[in-house]
Amino acid sequence: MIATLQGIISEKLPDVVVLDVRGVGYGLFVTTEDFGRLTAGEAAKLYIYEHIREQQHDLFGFVSRDTQLLFEQLLGVNGVGPKMALNVLSVGSSNDVRVAIAGGDVKYIQQASGVGKKVAERVVVELKDKVGLAGIDLLATGLLQGEGLLMQDEAIEALVALGYSPQDAAKALQAVDPELPTAERIKQALTSRA
């Protein structure tokens, strides 16, 4: 089993990066975020996930161990293979994907190439409580208030039902007085976005 590879990024091809490890070039599938981070000619260490089938041996590389763990969690969802999991992680940063899963944002997950509504719903249902939001800056996404507890808010739920992402719903409600009745908060959030 290959756990990590360290070497020089020798090439960046359309769908893989080639990591030269002492004269051996490993073709690694990476997320869009990692593809942008990696620079040809520079040293890099990547965490590796090996996917071996009868006729194929694919290597998936990740700059962050955290992203690799999320990738492996996605693989645990029925119907999600390595390429689809990589597509999900390529929709945004791993933190954005975690927040979307934890917040039940099926539409965000559906943006990934090859991911339909049923698979996106399955990802959310199966991983919602497993993605672990520790270390994610939820204050930046507007999902935390007060003492750092994830908001369980009817106004947010109503805005999500109207098509907002959980993050956008929380942002829209930030400037609204939380003591107002739910219906009034929703109305003010909708007029502030217009």
Mean pLDDT across 115-138: 76
Residues 73 and 132 in one domain: yes
Handedness of CA 133, 136, 141, 146 (dihedral sign): positive
pLDDT at residue 48 tops 80: yes
Q: Which pair of structure tokens corresponds to residue 150?
A: 């994830």
The percentage of residues in the chain with a pLDDT greater than 90, rounded to a whole number, is 47
Last residue of a domain, which of 18, 47, 63?
Answer: 63
* Residue closest to 34 by CA, chosen among 3, 59, 60, 8: 60
Residue 125 near residue 80 (C-beta atoms within 8 A): no
Task: Give the domain CATH number at 27.
Answer: 2.40.50.140
Task: Give the domain CATH number at 100.
Answer: 1.10.150.20
Q: What is the pTM of this model?
A: 0.67
Residues 47 and 73 in one domain: no
- How many separate domains does the chain show? 3
Residues 37 and 74 in one domain: no
Average per-residue pLDDT for the chain: 83
Residues 127 and 156 in one domain: no
Residues 112 and 157 in one domain: no
Residues 84 and 46 in one domain: no
The Cα 72–Cα 16 span in angstroms is 19
What is the residue range of 165's domain?
Answer: 137-194
pLDDT at residue 30 tops 80: yes
Task: Give the domain CATH number at 143.
Answer: 1.10.8.10
Residue-level pLDDT at 43: 95
Residue 153's pLDDT band, with cuts at 50, 70 and 90, is low
